[in-house]
Amino acid sequence: AEDPAVPVTHLLAEIREQGYTGSANLLVRYINQGRVEADHAALSPRKVAGLLTRHPDRLNDKHSALRDQLAGACPEMTVLADQIHAFAALLVPSAGNAERLTAWIATTRAADLPFLHSFATGLERDRAAIDAAVTLPHHNGRTEGTNCKIKLLKRQRYGRAGHPLLRQLILLN
């Protein structure tokens, strides 16, 4: 109670002198059961990523407040949240997005976020395709959906029917 920051090893040594025979793990669990920090569950990385990448209009008040708290937790998180928001704005095709993407990559390189550096490198590696994706309104979603459906039909019919029946199923669907 006098020194709440005392290391567990020192505390364990003191109470062992007084006859404590339990383990250090049991002592840590006993100490943590009364702490305020232990009263709430920690956020998983998946939950944090979901909060940071979800559109702000799709968050309820509780999640919006948690997202703002996460974004302001440290300077790196603030920069990360800003970069995610700026990149999400690039995903709506527009004529000036190629220049904005160049500026986004430069800002990302200037930030101290190594995991975003590798993402920016991947974007630069296939720059022509990325520029087309962020500037042109065309996409191949319908073709990809058809391919996915055909693969599903093939998996369902594996070993049960020949090519003519599979062809007929594809044409009927």
Looking at the predicted structure, is the pLDDT value of residue 3 above 80? no
pLDDT in tens, 129-148: 999 999 998 888 889 999 99
Region 83-103: mean pLDDT is: 92
pLDDT for the residue numbered 35: 58
pLDDT for the residue numbered 1: 62
Looking at the predicted structure, is the pLDDT value of residue 99 above 70? yes
Nearest CA to 101 out of 53, 133, 55 is that of 133
pLDDT for the residue numbered 106: 94
Sign of CA dihedral 46, 47, 49, 54: positive
Q: Indicate the average pLDDT of the chain.
A: 86
Sign of CA dihedral 123, 127, 129, 135: positive
pLDDT for the residue numbered 36: 53
Q: Where are the domains of the chain?
A: 8-39, 45-135, 141-172
Q: Kindly state the percentage of the chain with pLDDT values over 90.
A: 28
Specify whether the CB–CB gap between 56 and 89 falls below 8 A.
no
pLDDT in tens, 34-53: 655 545 567 788 888 888 88
The more confidently predicted of residues 121 and 3 is 121
Distance CA 144, CA 155 (A): 17
The more confidently predicted of residues 38 and 128 is 128
pLDDT for the residue numbered 38: 44
Instruction: Please state, in angstroms and as integers, the Cα–Cα distance from residue 121 to each residue in 36, 84, 115, 132, following that order.
Output: 42, 16, 10, 17
Q: What angle do CA 149, 150, 152 make, to 5 degrees?
A: 65
pLDDT for the residue numbered 11: 83
Distance CA 135, CA 127 (A): 12
